[in-house]
Amino acid sequence: MNILFIGDVCGKPGREAVKRTLPQLRKQLELDLVIADVENLAHGRGASPGTIDEIMSYGVDFLTAGNHIWRSNDFEYILGNYPIIRALNYPDDIPGKGFDIIEMSDQRRVLVATVLGKFGINDSVATNPLRALDDLLEKVDYESLDAIIVEYHGEATSEKVTTGLYLDGMVTAVVGTHTHVATADERILPNGTAYITDIGMVGTMNSSLWVKSDIVVQQMKYPYSPRYEIEDKGPLKLDSVLIRTDGPKKAEKISRISKIL
């Protein structure tokens, strides 16, 4: 099975990049499933029903969300009415769910889970990500699944690498998101799990992680700055990874797929 996981899609420029690349990628790479992180989908701050409908119309099948999904007033509706998950390591009374099993038309089944990192995220509600994954995987019926994809939405590279090694041989792939900067460490770990520390982002390439850089410069130099605005000028970039699966506990291959428009 060929699964494409797209990094954080940021605002209108990110949606435009998906529009201009994904239909061709679906054919070229013979994709069976496309997953995208959409926590920055609506002007860089959460998502909206309209922006989700838009990106799904371009060929995205399933959605994940990190700590910024709560910035939208529509978060409760979104998490209850779309094929989307929030972090697994939130308490049960938080809206949405932390994992889901995608039932594909050819009867194949893919479990997708997201966890939120601890260092630098400043989310006091999220619990320990490894313990949350332990609880989930202890209950998984591996024989009923064709793949298990875990997204680690976190700031610290050490947390992501450690989680990848911890889950090696237990899941198909562990992919990192949140920093918006693609890393060059995609590989198959010793026990067969595909891994990358961060997939990257989708949006305006010459921006400060989607924000107009002059605003961030002012923030760095002074104790006051304007409200963040999304950079909408210049070339667009789409960062993603292609995962070729080999069952729920290992992958055949992981490749970075990046496009500059």
User: Beta strand 33-37 with 62-64: parallel, antiparallel or unpaired?
Assistant: parallel
Main-chain phi, psi angles of 50, to 5 degrees: -65, -45
The DSSP bridge pattern shows strands 173-177 and 194-196 to be parallel
Question: Do the strands 33-37 and 194-196 form a parallel or antiparallel pair, or are they unpaired?
Answer: unpaired
What single letter denotes the amino acid at residue 91? Answer: P
Q: Which residues are catalytic?
A: 68
Comparing CA positions, the residue from 183, 185, 215 lying closest to residue 201 is 183
Written as one letter, the residue type at 184 is: A
34-45 in b/e form (b: 16+ CB < 10 A) is bbbbbbbbbbbb
Structure token digits, residue 188 = 């198959």
At 203 the three-state DSSP class reads strand
